[in-house]
Amino acid sequence: MSLVGNPLLPGCYPDPSICRVGEDFYLVTSTFEYFPGLPVFHSRDLAGWQQIGHVVDRSDQLDYEGIASSGGLYAPTLRHHDGRFWLICTLVDQQDATRGGNFLMTAEHAAGPWSAPVWLDADGIDPSLFFDDDGRVWVHGTRLAREPQWHDQTEVWVRELDPVAMALVGPEHVVWNGALRDVVWAEAPHLYKVDGTYYLLAAEGGTEFHHAVSVARADAVTGPYVGSRGNPVLTHRHLGRGSEVVGVGHADLVEASDGSWWAVLLGMRPYGGYHYNLGRETFLVPVTWEDGWPVFAPGRGRVTAQVEVPFAGTPRPGPAQATTSGIVAPDDLRWTSLRAPASTFASSTGDGWRLTMLPSSLRDPSTPAFLGVRQQHADVDVRAVVRAAVGPGEEVGLAVRQSEAHHVRLYVTGSGAERSAVAVHRHAGVESTLGQVPLPGDGAVVLAVRARGQEYALLAGVDDGDPLPVATFDGRVLDSVATGGFLGLWVGVYATSNGRPTGTTVHLDRFEYQPTG
């Protein structure tokens, strides 16, 4: 038996979905506008998770160029049936409701390659799949209620899928709109069949402080569903905003080979007040069954810092579980770009990258020359060593990113005696300079971010020496509580000519991510 630490996946890994194949567990999470999309993780014991690939890793699969931050890929569901993995998800463009929708993808192996998407005639978000033991397949999802009785009332619908034609068939059935009256956003539905009874799991209350897990059951897949008298069966909202974990919800169930049941779900860890810079993270709780209903975290009723997993051996956590420190090599699967493959502007070299500067910038909902990783620790040092001959109006820098409208940049500008490091905070689209220091010479530049809780320091130096302070900022100005949206923070290197034609090449010699404390 091992004690498994929560969260399973620290940092912005929200909306987890899990399935088991034999002794192997597989899990995916949302990625919004980041590319590659929908990371796939593997575990043998629910304790150690290794990322093995992404579902969306080719530009010909999906196009989300122009989709603004916190749009993109929402709430995937991963299932395995008849020798194949199935993935259903939503592509959301919040500025253009006619773009995107719900789609299916399949693969022989969870690591890929995954197929091109098949678009379904279904609106709404958070689609899921259920393979019944009679051979029929059912798709279900959430949308705003057609005839709402209150603001932000949603409804869960169920409809059959023809798995050969990959199309929805037959009538649609609206089966649920929440366990509580006036509840908002009854979403993230998942169907299961346990001992001949159908169970509908759903999140309620919105994916923030009032988030909760509720359950209903029925004798037929299309209902009628009756909610548990214990609803919500898991929530932290009654613990207050001072709880170590808040916003618990969006759960998915899995049965282990020993017959035990488990749930993965999202939650947030506030620090420095009610702010959660690391975003919505993936947690684990045990589940038992009593009187025909699931009991989440029995005997405790809440997400705990550690979970006993009887069949887990010595955990072997991977980089995604935030247990590694030092250089982030080019083949590390934590690297992400924005909306398109990094190969469109970058190539690996040694421990680092060669980036082709692009006219697009972090202010644009496009594909800038940006390579970053999730911030997974409240206390962390991030350090980048870059070399470039920066032209007029060009920037090569290190960014702490929330969105196009909200981020902090520390960048190199100018050359020779005019070269300097500048720190800028972009808030709601308006930029202010936080600080500036000279960078003499033309050698390599060291750019660093030092986070200690909500105190962030920006530093810069030359020739791989100890960097000097440029500016500080309060991290609470960047988290999603302050800015809106659904994302945690990313830290990464970028290069932009700010709309001008450019031929500048940037060498990222080394990128280090070092947790402290």
Task: Kindly report the CATH number assigned to the domain that includes residue 480.
Answer: 2.60.120.200
Instruction: Give bridge partners of residue 174 from the DSSP assignment.
Output: 157
Place of tokens 């693969």: 107
- Which SS3 state, helix, strand or coil, does residue 214 take? strand
Kindly state whether residues 192 and 238 are assigned to the same domain.
Answer: yes
pLDDT attached to residue 241: 96
Q: Please compute the mean of the pLDDT values over residues 412-420 and round it to a whole number.
A: 89
Kindly state whether residues 105 and 204 are assigned to the same domain.
Answer: yes
In the set 15, 126, 252, 404, the catalytic residue is 15
Q: Find the distance separating the first CA and the last CA of the chain, reported in whole Å.
A: 27
C-alpha closest to that of 280 among 31, 513, 20, 97: 31
pLDDT attached to residue 439: 94
Two tokens at 59? Answer: 């530009």
pLDDT digits (tens, 9 = 90+) for 216-254: 999 999 999 999 999 999 999 999 999 999 999 999 999
Check whether 134 has a pLDDT greater than 80: yes
Contacts of 296 (CB under 8 A, 6+ apart): 213, 233, 234, 251, 263, 285, 287
pLDDT digits (tens, 9 = 90+) for 7-44: 999 999 999 999 999 999 999 999 999 999 999 999 99
Two tokens at 120? Answer: 């379904």
Planar angle of CA 508, 323, 310, nearest 5 degrees? 150
Q: Which residues span the domain enclosing 195?
A: 2-321
pLDDT band at 1 (very low <50, low <70, confident <90, very high): low
pLDDT attached to residue 324: 87
Kindly state whether residues 268 and 353 are assigned to the same domain.
Answer: no
State how far the Cα of 9 lies from the Cα of 32, in Å rounded to an integer.
17
Q: Do residues 306 and 38 lie in contact, with contact meaning Cβ atoms separated by under 8 Å?
A: no
Q: Please compute the mean of the pLDDT values over residues 319-328 and round it to a whole number.
A: 90
Count the neighbouring beta carbons within 10 Å of the beta carbon of residue 432: 9
Q: Report CA-CA distances (Å) from 381 to 89, 279, 482, 499.
A: 34, 18, 23, 31
Kindly state whether residues 316 and 340 are assigned to the same domain.
Answer: no
Active site residue 15: yes
Kindly state whether residues 141 and 236 are assigned to the same domain.
Answer: yes
C-alpha closest to that of 2 among 284, 278, 254, 203: 284
Check whether 417 has a pLDDT greater than 90: no
State how far the Cα of 20 lies from the Cα of 22, in Å rounded to an integer.
6
Kindly state whether residues 203 and 291 are assigned to the same domain.
Answer: yes
State how far the Cα of 227 lies from the Cα of 199, in Å rounded to an integer.
10
Planar angle of CA 436, 439, 443, nearest 5 degrees? 150
Contacts of 300 (CB under 8 A, 6+ apart): none
Check whether 517 has a pLDDT greater than 80: no
pLDDT attached to residue 68: 95
Check whether 121 has a pLDDT greater than 70: yes
Task: Kindly tell me the burial class for residue 420, based on how many C-beta atoms sit within 10 Å of its own C-beta (0-12, 13-18, 19 or more).
Answer: middle
Q: Report CA-CA distances (Å) from 18 to 209, 358, 438.
A: 24, 38, 50
Check whether 315 has a pLDDT greater than 80: no
Kindly state whether residues 237 and 360 are assigned to the same domain.
Answer: no
Q: Please compute the mean of the pLDDT values over residues 392-408 and round it to a whole number.
A: 97
Torsion of CA 42, 44, 45, 51, to 10 degrees: -20
Question: Which amino acid, one-letter code, is at 341?
Answer: P
Among 256, 286, 321, residue at a domain's last position: 321
Q: Please compute the mean of the pLDDT values over residues 42-56 and round it to a whole number.
A: 96
Quote the distance between the C-alpha of residue 311 and its chain's center: 28
Contacts of 405 (CB under 8 A, 6+ apart): 69, 363, 426, 427, 428, 429, 483
Planar angle of CA 18, 124, 129, nearest 5 degrees? 30
Two tokens at 399? Answer: 């960014």
Q: Please compute the mean of the pLDDT values over residues 368-395 and round it to a whole number.
A: 97
Kindly state whether residues 317 and 454 are assigned to the same domain.
Answer: no
The pairing of strands 395-401 and 407-413 is antiparallel
Quote the distance between the C-alpha of residue 484 and its chain's center: 15
Q: Please compute the mean of the pLDDT values over residues 154-170 and round it to a whole number.
A: 97
Compare 408 and 321 and report the one with higher pLDDT: 408
C-alpha closest to that of 43 among 83, 16, 67, 68: 16
Kindly state whether residues 440 and 421 are assigned to the same domain.
Answer: yes
pLDDT attached to residue 201: 98
Number of domains in the chain: 2
Half-sphere exposure of 237 (CA within 13 A, CB side): 16
Contacts of 298 (CB under 8 A, 6+ apart): 286, 287, 288, 290
Q: Please compute the mean of the pLDDT values over residues 167-185 and round it to a whole number.
A: 95
Kindly state whether residues 235 and 317 are assigned to the same domain.
Answer: yes
Q: Left, alpha or beta for 32 (phi > 0: left; psi -120 to 50: alpha)? A: left
Two tokens at 7? Answer: 């969260």
Kindly state whether residues 151 and 237 are assigned to the same domain.
Answer: yes
* Mean pLDDT value across the chain: 96
Among 300, 321, 342, residue at a domain's last position: 321
In the set 187, 252, 281, 394, the catalytic residue is 187
Q: Please compute the mean of the pLDDT values over residues 424-447 and round it to a whole number.
A: 95
State how far the Cα of 346 lies from the Cα of 354, in Å rounded to an integer.
6
* Rg of the chain taking only CA atoms, in angstroms: 23
pLDDT attached to residue 416: 84
Contacts of 83 (CB under 8 A, 6+ apart): 108
CATH code of the domain covering residue 292:
2.115.10.20
Check whether 90 has a pLDDT greater than 80: yes
State how far the Cα of 252 lies from the Cα of 258, in Å rounded to an integer.
18
pLDDT band at 496 (very low <50, low <70, confident <90, very high): very high
Kindly state whether residues 184 and 236 are assigned to the same domain.
Answer: yes
Among 288, 304, 321, residue at a domain's last position: 321
State how far the Cα of 472 lies from the Cα of 450, in Å rounded to an integer.
9
